[in-house]
Structure 1
Amino acid sequence: MLWLLISPQSSTQAAVEAASSVPSPQPASPATDEPRASPATAEVSNLPSFAAMRSLLDSATSCSLEACRGQPSACPTLTRGLASTRPANATFTHQLTIENKANGDALLAWVSPNGSEASLLRLGAGERRTVKSYTGDVWRARALAGGALLMEAQTGPVSVRDCGCLDRPLVVCPPRERKPRNASDGGGPKEPAGFVNRAAVPLHVWVAGRSCEVLLTESSPIAAGGYRLFNAWRGQTFRARDASTGRLVAEHLVGSLL
């Protein structure tokens, strides 16, 4: 099993990459573990639809109790047809921190828009590395010995499903504590935290403090199939709850990909 931790850069791209050009990700410098300044550019055509890739990934992903705790406990199944693309709106720039939790060496690959895998770097057991990425990039990690798939993920919003998580009682912060910290308050690197509601009920999103939670969707919940984007920082905990009952549906730690 391989974990993928996300920490975007502070800047975002205001415009979408041209449909005929997708910047290719690149490995970090071994000496500094920071992304290099000038990533290579891969010229491609026939860019797949971002919505179609999201739908493909969502339909292929099954629920498990492990998803409630933030990381899968079993190796994934490869999603046929999944490839890197770009959304129709703004594209965020990210730094992805990958940690190899497997017992042996692993190879990290970027999946190009035509579906081929381009190996970027090798990670030893327990090793962590950082790469530059964009919204819509698809990543796979495979065991160096045998090629078994260890991880498959797409950079971008979190799909919230009702996976039967154990409930966590809702404790609402009192008014004096109702202003959650954000990245500009010194909480950490900025992280665009996006959520797509794949549950069957409207969801409220809460940000959790040490002992209580602050409602972020006070104006209206996220309808089934809806999407909402929040400013956040790495290390914040977001909780999606049934808008009617307050039941915990999913929990997401910013900096990790479920």
Structure 2
Amino acid sequence: MARDPEAVQGQVFRQGLAEVRGLVADFDPELVVMFGVDHVRAYQPIVPAVSVIAKASGLGDAGSPTGEYDVPADQVVALAADLLAHDVDVALTHETVLDHGFGQTFADLLGSLGARPVVPVHINCAEEPMISCTRAVRIGELVGQHFAEDPRRILYLATGGLSHAPQALAQGVRGMDEEERRRVNMEGSEVALAWLNEDWDRRFLANIATTERGWIADMEPTMVEEAGCGANEVRSWLAAWAAGGRPLRTVAYEPVTEWITGMGVVAS
């Protein structure tokens, strides 16, 4: 998307993103709780299954923004303590640099990385082992409970997904520099295109348009087989869905072949 500055590709998705940007502006959030993903950049020597982040800046990869996030560290620590009290072994990241798995969507919807206070919650979706999708839902539910009595207007935001399998990620990006990642992805674009699965994407979007959860355990065993390794990132969607506790309306969906990705945007 960032490599298409003329905005020729993904018109349906772009229009949906613009609609949701308007919804966010109307809601005027006082705090954003963001469930995001990392592509083995922020987390390399140690990869926590789940982490809350007390200080962060933007890496600027893939055209994503740079700068500092406005993170209320005391509130992040309080969330970590609450999750630990509920038997979630969450890590506390004191400082890190986040890639486009956080920054691109945050800036697209809110304008800049420092536009609103944000509590970043990282869920590992890039490398095995990962928490189950059911566990991601439970973590989201607990985050929602933590902020339930907070009088502020809180926006739950997620990034990642839907069906895709960039070949650097599929082969294992650990040890690759940025140039090699890009080369492997570009050379493997035709292979990756085979993982774009519109039927799977639409089934997932239909399921989160309810509050029913019985489908999640059935989806997970074949998720990567059907929709590629990038589909692991729907864990972040599920966490935000559970935190908000409301059905999510599909604002737009489009399988964008140039981006080798099923692109969707939803809102409550």
Normalised by the length of structure 1, the TM-score is 0.27
The structure with higher relative contact order (CA 8 Å, sep 6+) is 2
Q: Max radius of gyration: which structure?
A: 1
Indicate the structure with greater strand content: 1
